[in-house]
Structure 1
Amino acid sequence: MEATRDVRMATGNGENSYAANSRLQEKAILETRPVLHKAIEDVYTLLSARRNTMVVADLGCSSGPNTLLVVSEVMGAIRAFTRQQSEERRGVEVQFFLNDLPGNDFNLVFRSLEHYDYLGGGKEAPPYYVAGLPGSYYRKLFPCRSVHLIHSSYSLMWRSKVPEEISNSTHLNEDNIYIGRNTPFVVIKLFQEQFQKDFELFLTLRSKELVSGGRMLLTFIGRNNEDMLMHGEVSTVFELVAKSIQSLVLKGRLEKEKLDSFNLPYYAPSVKEVKELIDRNSLFDIDHIKLFESNWDPQDDSDGNVTLDCASSGVNVAKCIRAVLEPLIVDHFGEEIIEELFFDYGSIVAKHLEKAKAKYPIIVVSLKKPMH
């Protein structure tokens, strides 16, 4: 399974689309707003009167309201900052590149742009231009030293591919689709090594594309435990999906080998892993790094440790995960199982939430490319 071909969110804007079920990702963008605004202010100071175009890239932009929420946040930060500047310094123009894999619903993004025309209005708002850029961010995307700010939210936990030794069945991850409690340690190490290769490649590519002093803000699902065999809540999310698939196997609806040959191109690292790789890579300085948590249920904004309505939360979580995984599952298992699978999944999640409220650990890291 190659992520460059297969990973895409559910398209369109219908009930089961990613666009209609991406509040979890919206909450992460809003949570990291102060860090993004600080990065934009820093980037703005790099611009000279001769070169007054700020180039901003959003990698793994997906589709739906969050894609243009990032555009809106950047423009809002620039408007706020330029109020303090001279007329000459207010002449900046902004070029946005929205990047995702070719299977992304770019048509929905472009149709949505007409509703965001207000971003360009007003004396204090600089002109902005938006372009789509299909392609994998594990490849070079831009000319050298051409980008000022790179943003990526809820994307970098996706790998470039499932490790070959797993995808070709040299090592089996039986009854799992990711790292589960009975995943062999050799398989865990393969997932980890794939992350290390991908993340170092990502840093190397982005360092070439950023201008000196350029900034990069990355937000992605991680884990808050260093023990690989206790992989945390994101692992449990996918264990419950695997359990739902297993129930279909037991009913004779699917062959067991179909489950055993399905693995996600995914890895949720710890803060320590991320920091060690950045330090080892030596291409960026860490300006800010921390971990925050977000409830599994995207509609649950409470801070307590009890889920008030487990059945409702189970349905909400199922909709969220379906919007992310449906294209991958359909490609591998066929579409006839989707409704039954995620109905069962919602019930299984509800039972899980009766024990305790579950949360995703989210890593946010702001990086600076040193001045040369």
Structure 2
Amino acid sequence: MVEGGIMALLIPGVPSYWDPQKEFTVISRLELLTSSLVDMAKKGRLSEEKLEKFNFPHHFPTPEEVRAILHKSISFSIERMEILSSGAFLNVDGHVACFRAVFQNVLTHEFGVEAIDETFDLLKKKLQTSAVYANPSNERTVVIVVILKHNNV
């Protein structure tokens, strides 16, 4: 990156505090996807042995974590940082589509293509029957938007 160049980051994250009994975030949806995989293994549709070895490496930071990490950087300075609420712009089908876009290739590689549709259908049913997801205003996922400037180092 050239000196003085600008870089934009869009990072899905979670607020500093949220109540998982009443609100949901991207972490909640990932837990439901994991639970769907477990259910599929119990039905014999996925390999339990592969599932036991499978790991979803992920971290969804709080805005404070992002700011602390970026302040340690000598290569970049924060020009601007905004926290956007992802709001209620996605319905259940939208949440499933987003997760499918992100995780389908990983899951297909690990478990095979045969049960992928069924796994995401199960995730959809879990979202539809969850009281927390019934109200889209319970969504607490945030998008951390950061504009960084490359420093002369």
TM-score range, shorter chain: 0.7 to 0.9
Q: 2:4 matched to 1:223? A: no
Aligned to 1:318: 96
Q: 2:63 matched to 1:265? A: no
Letter in 2 for 1:331: H
User: Does the C-alpha gap of structure 1 residues 319 and 369 become closer, same or farther in structure 2, counting only changes over 3 Å?
Assistant: closer
Aligned to 2:76: 284
Greater relative contact order (Cα 8 A, min sep 6): structure 1 or 2? Answer: 2
SS class of match (2:115): helix
Q: 2:48 matched to 1:256? A: yes
Q: Give a deviation string over 1:134-174, Cα, whole Å, max 9, x none.
A: xxxxxxxxxxxxxxxxxxxxxxxxxxxxxxxxxxxxxxxxx
Q: 2:22 matched to 1:241? A: no
Aligned to 1:360: 141
Letter in 2 for 1:361: V
Q: Which runs of 4+ in 1 moved over 3 A?
A: 295-298
* Shift, 1:331, TM fit: 0.4
Taking structure 1 as the reference length, the TM-score comes to 0.36
Please list, as runs of the form range in 1=range in 2, the aligned pairs for 1:1-372 lying within 5 A after superposition: 210-225=1-16, 233-295=25-87, 298=90, 313-352=91-130, 353-354=133-134, 357-371=138-152
Distance 1:362 1:212 in 2: 27
Distance 1:322 1:240 in 2: 13
Distance 1:297 1:338 in 2: 25
Aligned to 2:21: none
What RMSD, in angstroms, separates the aligned Cα atoms of the two structures? 2.5
Q: Give a deviation string over 1:209-246, Cα, whole Å, max 9, x none.
A: x222111111110111279xxxx611111101011111
Q: Give a deviation string over 1:319-343, Cα, whole Å, max 9, x none.
A: 2211221110010011100111111
Aligned to 1:84: none
Q: Contact 2:74–2:151 (CA<8 Å) still a contact in 1? A: no
Aligned to 1:303: none
Contiguous gaps of at least 5 residues in structure 2: 19-23
Distance 1:297 1:241 in 2: 20
Identical residues among aligned pairs (%) = 28
Taking structure 2 as the reference length, the TM-score comes to 0.82
Larger Rg: 1
Q: Contact 2:78–2:149 (CA<8 Å) still a contact in 1? A: yes
User: Does the C-alpha gap of structure 1 residues 366 and 343 become closer, same or farther in structure 2, counting only changes over 3 Å?
Assistant: same
Q: How many residues align?
A: 147
